Amino acid sequence: MKVLITGAQGQLGQDVTSICGQAGLEVTSCSRAELDITDEDQCLQVVTGHRPDCIIHCAAYTAVDAAESDLDGAFRVNAIGTRNVAMAAERVGCKLVYISTDYVFNGHSDKPYQEYDLVDPQTVYGKSKYAGEQIVRDFCTRWFIVRTSWVFGIHGSNFVKTMLRLGQEKPLLQVVHDQKGSPTYTVDLARFLVNLISTEKYGIYHASNSGSCTWFEFTEAIFTEAKKELNLTITAKLEPCTTEQFPRPAKRPSNSVMEHLAIRVNDLEELPHWKDGLRRFMLEMKQQPDLYL
């Protein structure tokens, strides 16, 4: 299978590229410099030139807070850029995987969100990503929409790396304890995507590592694993705080946990527990210490 990956230099894109290669797929990795998804003509030229069997669309505007004051920028990438990729995919008749987010929901539910629950995005980022979902469904015949959450990986910046740095620098670290979600290791998500594209089981999927926690509980686990696997000295005293104590431009959902209904009913393999993903992430960092701070 020939796979084209957009946003291939991003946090998820780099692991998707690696896992696809390990699976023996013929991979075309496109960085932003090689494929600007906001350029309609370039999208069509690149996709028709390579004629992939599947596009895994990792390129996205993911700066949640910045999007609140950059509505045009967020929609230009997440909506119009996705339209350009979707039109090109349909032109060559290939499958399209669109990576979406838990932010399409309002975060108020007291239960995990199912794939078919009503969406209600509360932020510019969430609204722009949902616009991308709608475009994929409208423009493509063979599509997978994969919503994920709390992503961390060896490449780029993420919550785990930030907490490791702050844990070694700060005497006191306050982390919110009233927002719940499911951390997702990019390697596990990439493996799920590789398995998914080998099927014809199109539709919407929630794909995060199993289990859930608060950001505070996640940080506790990060520090525990860092001391055990990396022998790091964590100086920060960890304290829980509320969302109100840590205001941000974009509203954060209090509940980001997503149920994996579509994975189960389509007889696909669940992603491992987030604690297992975190442990393997730490082991990966141990092998590449220059990448984790």
Kindly state the tokens that stand for 7: 């946003």
Percentages of the chain per state (helix, strand, coil), in multiples of 5: 45, 20, 35
**Closest to 37 (Cα-Cα) out of 62, 53, 4, 60:** 60
The active-site residue out of 125, 130, 185, 292 is 125
Residue 196 CA to residue 144 CA, distance in Å, equals 8
CA 176 to chain centre: 21
- CB within 8 Å of 227: residues ≥ 6 apart: 233, 234
**Closest to 214 (Cα-Cα) out of 240, 241, 181:** 181
Query: Does residue 205 carry a catalytic annotation?
Result: no
Q: What amino acid is encoded at 210 in this protein?
A: S
For residues 84 and 37, the answer to whether their CB atoms sit within 8 Å is: yes
Residue 123 CA to residue 67 CA, distance in Å, equals 8
Neighbours of 284 (CB within 10 A): 17
Residue 11 CA to residue 14 CA, distance in Å, equals 6
Task: Using DSSP, state whether 6 is helix, strand or coil.
Answer: strand
Task: Using DSSP, state whether 260 is helix, strand or coil.
Answer: coil
**Residues identified as active-site:** 125
